[in-house]
Amino acid sequence: MTAPCELHLYHNSKQHSDKVAKKILKYAKALEQKYNYFNPSSYLSSINARTTDILDTQTKELLKRAKSYYLATNCIFDITTATIKDIYKLDNIKKFDQEKARLSQFVGCENFEIKRDKIIFSNSFTKIDLGGMVKEYAVDKAVQIIKKYNIGSALVNFGGDIYAVGKNPNNTKFKIGIKNPLNKKQNLLFVEIEDEALTTSASYERNYTIENQNFSHIISKKHKTGEILSATVVSKNCVASGVYSTSLMIDSNMSIPYKKILIDKNLNIKA
């Protein structure tokens, strides 16, 4: 999942908890292998390479949800930004600008459609990266497994994508710290959650540098509308939280149906 993952299960049987943890680990690793954009042997890579156009049920579900969020976020959350993803590896800014201009016309979820069990691209350039959904999807699936095996208290944290199942064993809500974007060792505030998901997207964690110009790892055709350093969203499922926290990094003025917390460059907090 490209980030540390942890699982806290509270149950009176260690054997039962270990069994559940192993099932979650197996499921998460399978997702990682299947949808790894950088692995040429992954199922996703075969779709991008046009060596297959057949969609299984899980992939069809993810792509349909991605298209739905694309429309709901005014085309900001876009899995086809992968089309221009590889140009961030370039070391020449002029070449970068040329390639971005050439490929940007092929970015957008309208460049592919789903017909029955097939994906049909309108061109040979559009690529898909489900990295903005799969980790969050894995969290939601982990929660389903936890509930299936009757564990009433748990915390799933896959690289900062979090879901709290029930309450802590001491009957208090789980308290999640929101980092100071300018000092990752410090929490600016805490959010209490119960049977809720929380994700934070930020521009300080990773970036690309081309000839001394820095670019956020959150790639978009659209320009950012504010000086937001991090966006946190709390909702009832992790995919929704992840989609909207990422989208708010592009358009911080976006109206969303969930609780949001924005931190700007002056460390002002807007909730």
Question: What pLDDT, in 10s, does the model give residues 143-201?
Answer: 999 999 999 999 999 999 999 999 999 999 999 999 999 898 999 999 999 999 999 99
* Angstrom distance (rounded) from CA 203 to CA 214: 11
Q: Mean pLDDT, the chain, as a whole number?
A: 92
Q: Which strand (E) or helix (H) includes residue 245?
A: helix 238-250
Structure confidence at residue 217 (pLDDT):
56
118 φ/ψ angles, rounded to the nearest 5 degrees? -130, 150
199-230 exposure pattern, b = at least 16 Cβ within 10 A, e = fewer = bbbbbebeebebeeeeebebbbbeeeebebbb
Hey, is 269 helix, strand or coil?
Answer: strand
Burial (0-12, 13-18, 19+ Cβ within 10 Å), 71: exposed
Give the pLDDT of residue 221.
60
What b-and-e string marks burial along 22-38, b requiring 16 or more CB atoms within 10 Å of the CB?
eebeeebeebbebbbbe
Look at residue 225 and tell me whether its pLDDT is greater than 60.
Answer: no
β-partners of residue 232 are: 200, 261
Q: Which residues are bridge partners to 216 per DSSP?
A: 207
Q: For 5-270, which CATH class?
A: alpha beta
Using 50, 70 and 90 to split pLDDT, how confident is the model at 138?
very high
- State yes or no: pLDDT of 203 exceeds 90: no
Q: What is the pLDDT of residues 20-63, one digit of tens each?
A: 999 999 999 999 999 999 999 999 999 999 999 999 999 999 99
Residue 3 pLDDT: 84
Identify the pLDDT of residue 218. 64
Q: Where are the domains of the chain?
A: 5-270
Per-residue confidence (pLDDT) for residue 93, from 0 to 100: 87
pLDDT of residue 104: 93
- By the 10 Å C-beta count (0-12 exposed, 13-18 middle, 19+ buried), 142 is classed as buried
Distances in Å between the Cα of 232 and the Cα atoms of 84, 164, 244 are 26, 15, 9
Torsion from C-alpha of 180, 181, 183, 185, nearest 10 degrees: 60
Residue 2: the pLDDT is 74
Kindly indicate the confidence band of residue 116, based on its pLDDT and cuts at 50, 70 and 90.
very high
| Average pLDDT of span 219-236 | 79
H or E element, residue 243: helix 238-250
What is the number of other CB atoms lying within 10 angstroms of the CB of residue 118?
A: 12
